[in-house]
Amino acid sequence: MRIEEIRRVLVVGAGTMGRQISLLCAMHGYDAALYVRRPHMLDTTIGKVRALALEWMGEGRLTQSESSAALSRITTTSNPGEAAAEVDLLSESVAEDPRIKARVFAQFDRLCPPRTIFTTNTSTLVPSQYAKATGRPAQFCAFHFHQPVLVANVVDIMPHPGTSEETITLLHDFARRIGQIPVFIKKENKGYIFNAMFNAFLRVALILAASKVASVEDIDRAWMGVTKMPIGPFGMIDIVGVDLTYEIAKRQTKWVFFMPQARGILNFLKTYVDQGRLGIKTGKGFYTYPNPAFQQPGFLEGEPFLARGPSS
């Protein structure tokens, strides 16, 4: 398949990333089908995609006419056969579980045309874990977006040993067509490039907080003040999702054996998860949204030092 032949994209998984990917493709002229597994979530999903378009308009990333045109190219459906019809490229963003991903790909392998390229947006798994289940391993590759896609516009292209050169080249060209910077991963690596570095960064921040070395706010202040970044590690976790961060930490069982602080990290995150403080998506995580404290004037100045106490 040539890049010019890609016209219709199927996004499987209508969560935060799936909605962004579908709107991103649509704003660059592609027809996008967004598959919603639960029929009763169709209206909610449509509403969230429209809200996302309004958000991008408010940021100056879309005009009114561009937004209307992009939304007109997006269809949502809970019918897998309808979703798969005439699709040229599939982007999967379902739960980070290789068994679930394998089932999803096996299902759509039966429904999609033989030409369809399959991609996975996993951030912690590698494509060889479920390449066989796709039924088309040569046309399968990891194609990983970052959050939020219009700002962190890098996409990781990570083939497994059976991915064809044609598929890799096509995905490189497709990334450029949708305004993303393609980076190539020479061999499978959990966490790709940025996430591998990012996870190490977050791990240290979590150790500091879980061990009560410093408060969440002061850890973020330290990072923001020195690097001049507009956000710190705990603001970033709120974007990723506290629950997802917790699930990733649980799966990285090597921590339990090689890091004495591992149990403390899990307990620390679980406190927030149990309270439903999952980050931006629930309106509250380490900060409260839509106007988190770290974005407010005076945040870097902090609270009176003595008022914090040694264990805050």
- Tell me the three state secondary structure of residue 166: helix
Total domain count, the chain: 2
> Does the pLDDT value for residue 312 go beyond 60?
no
Name the domain boundary from 184, 214, 241.
184
Task: Classify residue 101: in a domain, yes or no.
Answer: yes
* Cα distances (Å, whole numbers) of residue 193 to 100, 123, 205: 24, 10, 19
251 or 153: which leads in pLDDT: 153
**Is there a single domain that holds both residue 144 and residue 58?**
yes
CATH classification at residue 102: 3.40.50.720
Tokens standing for residue 41: 């979530």
Residue type, 308: R
Q: Would you state the pLDDT for residue 254?
A: 54
Q: Is 31 exposed, middle or buried (0-12, 13-18, 19+ CB in 10 A)?
A: middle
**Is there a single domain that holds both residue 89 and residue 55?**
yes
**Is there a single domain that holds both residue 166 and residue 262?**
no
Long-range contacts of 49-55 (CB under 8 A, 24+ apart): 49/19, 49/22, 49/23, 49/74, 49/76, 52/19, 52/20, 52/23, 53/23
**Is there a single domain that holds both residue 180 and residue 82?**
yes
Task: Classify residue 95: in a domain, yes or no.
Answer: yes
Length of the chain: 312
**Is there a single domain that holds both residue 266 and residue 148?**
no
Range of the domain at 67: 3-184
Please report which residue ranges of the chain form alpha helices under DSSP H: 16-27, 42-58, 64-72, 80-84, 98-111, 165-177, 194-210, 216-227, 233-240, 242-251, 254-258, 262-274, 305-308
The 8-class DSSP code of residue 183 comes to: E
**Is there a single domain that holds both residue 178 and residue 95?**
yes
Task: Classify residue 312: in a domain, yes or no.
Answer: no
Selection from 142, 155, 150 nearest residue 90 by Cα: 142
Whole-angstrom distance, CA of residue 8 vs CA of residue 77: 14
Asked if residue 155 lies in contact with residue 133, where contact means CB atoms within 8 angstroms, the answer is no
**Is there a single domain that holds both residue 48 and residue 29?**
yes
- Tell me the three state secondary structure of residue 223: helix
Tokens standing for residue 231: 């956000």
Whole-angstrom distance, CA of residue 99 vs CA of residue 133: 10
**Is there a single domain that holds both residue 167 and residue 252?**
no
* Cα distances (Å, whole numbers) of residue 220 to 215, 229, 280: 9, 10, 17
**Is there a single domain that holds both residue 17 and residue 157?**
yes
pTM (predicted TM-score): 0.83
CATH classification at residue 209: 1.10.1040.10
Name the domain boundary from 127, 158, 184.
184
53 or 312: which leads in pLDDT: 53
**Is there a single domain that holds both residue 178 and residue 216?**
no
Name the domain boundary from 184, 213, 241.
184
pLDDT digits (tens, 9 = 90+) for 118-137: 999 998 899 999 999 999 99
Task: Classify residue 300: in a domain, yes or no.
Answer: no
Asked if residue 122 lies in contact with residue 35, where contact means CB atoms within 8 angstroms, the answer is no
Confidence of residue 258 (pLDDT cuts 50, 70, 90): low
pLDDT digits (tens, 9 = 90+) for 7-48: 999 999 999 899 999 999 999 999 999 999 999 999 999 999
Tokens standing for residue 230: 């507009």
**Is there a single domain that holds both residue 157 and residue 285?**
no
Task: Classify residue 265: in a domain, yes or no.
Answer: yes
**Is there a single domain that holds both residue 84 and residue 161?**
yes
Confidence of residue 225 (pLDDT cuts 50, 70, 90): very high
Tokens standing for residue 134: 């796709």
pLDDT digits (tens, 9 = 90+) for 259-272: 667 888 999 999 99
The 8-class DSSP code of residue 288 comes to: B
* Cα distances (Å, whole numbers) of residue 93 to 12, 121, 131, 169: 6, 5, 15, 22
Task: Classify residue 307: in a domain, yes or no.
Answer: no
Q: Would you state the pLDDT for residue 251?
A: 74
